[in-house]
Amino acid sequence: MRHSCLQGLVRNASVSGNLDAPEGGFDAIMQAIVCRNQIGWREKARRLLVFSTDAGFHYAGDGKLGGIIKPNDGLCHLDTSGMYTHSSLQDYPSISQINLKVKQNAINVIWAVTEEQINVYKRLTKQVEGSFAGKLSDDSSNVVELIREQYDAISSSVEMKDTASSAIKVKYFSSCLGTGPVVETSKCDGLKVGTKVEFIAEIEVTSCPANRSEWKQKFDIYPVNQIIMQT
């Protein structure tokens, strides 16, 4: 999208206020992720979601303050004009729900926030895989540069994760850019488009689950915010 077009969309966006400091940005993030057809996410494109704010966030449980106790269902609820229809019908998403949807849909989130909020959102990056936090200037004039820097960091690294249980230990090994011996690491940085990186996974069963139903297990090994490979 061209910069001038983006400026026009931001300028024409409707603005609303609220009575407390935290904002309902998690509702917007959830809808932007799961409403794939309405948003227009392309299947093979790198998906980047920028969340800009100068405040904290509401999350699961805060809806009780307004008498809303129904949990967030993680589904798309946009009307034909793009408005979220369930803000008064169900609670805010939880952090774990956001993390799950980010992983399922291979989306990188950039938290572009002001100085007073940066520490909060840096902690949030540890809970939402493949997300990055950057500090906005007072007048947000550095937002384009911030996004560019974070995008460069995202596109030049790859990190392996897994969903193995506590009974299974997975170690990763790689020589990353091919220089030097293979070492234990789950992340490679400094990559360029077209660079081939190989990882070796060493899988060890460390204990036998007491519950017989857990003897047969299946888990995923996957690069963060990319297509998941089942093992």
pLDDT tens string, the chain, 231 residues long: the values are 445 555 666 666 665 555 556 888 999 999 999 999 999 998 877 889 999 999 999 999 999 888 999 999 999 999 999 999 999 999 999 999 999 999 889 899 999 999 999 999 999 999 998 898 999 888 888 888 988 888 888 778 888 989 999 999 999 999 998 778 999 999 998 888 778 889 999 999 999 988 888 888 899 898 886 644 444
Distance CA 162, CA 160 (A): 7
Decide if 112 contacts 50 (C-beta within 8 A). Answer: yes
Q: Give the CA diameter of the chain.
A: 61
- Using DSSP's 3-state secondary structure scheme, residue 184 falls into strand
Predicted TM-score of the model (pTM)? 0.73
Pairing of strands 131-135, 107-113: parallel
150 contact partners, CB below 8 Å, separation of at least 6: 110, 132, 134
Sign of CA dihedral 29, 35, 38, 40: positive
The structural domains of the chain, ordered by start, are 3-155 (3.40.50.410), 158-230 (2.60.40.1510)
Contact 139, 173 (CB under 8 A): no
Classify 146 as helix, strand or coil: helix
Q: Looking at residue 123, what DSSP letter applies?
A: H
Structure-token pair, residue 119: 């520490």
Residue 49 CA to residue 110 CA, distance in Å, equals 6
